[in-house]
Amino acid sequence: VDAYFEYLESNPKPLKNRSKARLHIGTTEIISTVVILGKEELSPGESAYVQFRMDKPTTTMAGDRYILRSYSPIRTIGGGHVLNPLPRKHKGDLGKIVESLKILDEGTAEDAFLWHLKEVGLKGISKTELSIRTNLPPKIFDKLWQKALSNGQALLYDRESQKIVYRDATDTAKKMIVDALEQFHKENPLKTGMGKEELGSKMPPWLESRLFNQILFQLSKEGTVVQEKEWVRMASHSLDLGKDEEEIKKQIERLYREAGLTPPFFKEVVQKVPGESKVKYDVLDLMLEEGILVKVKNDLYFHREALENLKQRLIQFLEEHHEISPAEFKKLTQASRKFSIPLLEYFDSTRVTIRVGDKRVLRSKS
């Protein structure tokens, strides 16, 4: 609990930082460590902002009065009022923390409302929790809630749970997203974009998916990023293949075009085509995105034209004969089972055919 504390002038000696004492809130007594913020001790008659680290939890609200008694012998040494019933454990620049708590202690109701909203950052906060933290009268709280939303100080990102986030926190998240995308493009210049799930993994773990999606939507609306299905990229990003990459792309396409329905596995292509392995895999991803190559199974790719040609011949065969066996399909492809079986399964998965027993029929005719 963060609180304002007055140390009685009648005390015979200073109160040392991190002293044990008895905190009385309401009818409850709790043994607590008194952390004096920004000082090592309090002289009799002095006041300070403190954090009580209690040995057991209790229920209290902002504004509640309390009395502090010495641990032993038991006597009243001071008292004050609660400022923040749900604080983080303070560390770092205690001077800034003291100035921050002064806002809660001496500021207006609106100051307190915004203080708590800022404090939770990108974690966001529900209307119910914010009401508890501020302990403001309902009419004043509702007025401040509406004002924050209407003037853009807060963003409502979950209507069902009535959760909001401070606008400056969303600006921080936008910068994190832009930084992550720019770094990704720098490391992967041949990739169209970054997977949305991968981008989400670069964000703080407490950033809720609804808020993440809403911030992405805002960045898209602003023209900063572009979302394409499950991919996200900077609007400024373009695929400009260098001379070496263009040559690698031409060689890979030539190999697959010439191989037809008996293509090499890509690990074999990597061995045949000169250049760095990473660049070749990046070019492969680009060719898959452009639809030049099609993945049929792990490490097995076909040129789109070869697959399209086979698809038309397969449909024609099925329209004439109504069904096809694996042996007939193998004959149709003039390829070994190493290729014909994955191709049969590919046409099943793309809903061209459906398996009935050990044969295939046209899905539309099934």
Q: What is the CATH number of domain 2-84?
A: 2.40.30.10
Q: What is the CA radius of gyration of the chain?
A: 33
Q: Spell out the per-residue pLDDT of the chain, length 366, in tens.
A: 999 999 999 999 999 999 999 999 988 999 999 999 989 999 999 999 999 999 999 999 999 999 999 999 999 999 999 999 999 898 877 888 999 999 999 999 999 999 999 999 999 999 999 999 999 999 999 999 999 999 999 999 999 999 999 999 999 999 999 999 999 998 888 888 899 999 999 999 989 999 999 999 999 999 999 998 888 999 998 877 788 889 999 999 999 999 999 999 999 999 999 998 988 998 998 899 889 999 999 999 999 999 999 999 999 999 999 999 999 999 999 999 999 999 999 999 999 999 999 999 998 754
CATH no. of 94-168? 1.10.10.10
Residue 366: predicted pLDDT: 43
CATH architecture of the domain with range 170-234? Orthogonal Bundle (1.10)
**Any idea what the Cα angle at residue 218 is, between residues 216 and 224, rounded to 5°?**
80
Pairwise CA distance, residues 112 & 134, whole Å: 7
Contact 55, 32 (CB under 8 A): yes
Q: What is the pTM of this model?
A: 0.69
Cα(366)–Cα(351) distance, integer angstroms: 11
Structure tokens at 235: 């609007």
N- to C-terminal Cα distance for the chain?
A: 70
Q: Are 261 and 167 in contact (CB under 8 A)?
A: no
The CATH architecture annotation of domain 305-365 reads Orthogonal Bundle (1.10)
pLDDT in tens, 230-264: 889 999 988 777 888 899 999 999 999 999 999 99
Residue-wise pLDDT for 28-75, tens only, equals 999 999 999 989 999 999 999 999 999 999 999 999 999 999 999 999
Element housing 178 (H / E) = helix 167-187
Q: What is the CATH number of domain 243-299?
A: 1.10.10
**Where do the structural domains in the chain lie, given as residue ranges?**
2-84, 94-168, 170-234, 243-299, 305-365
Do the domains 243-299 and 170-234 match in fold?
yes
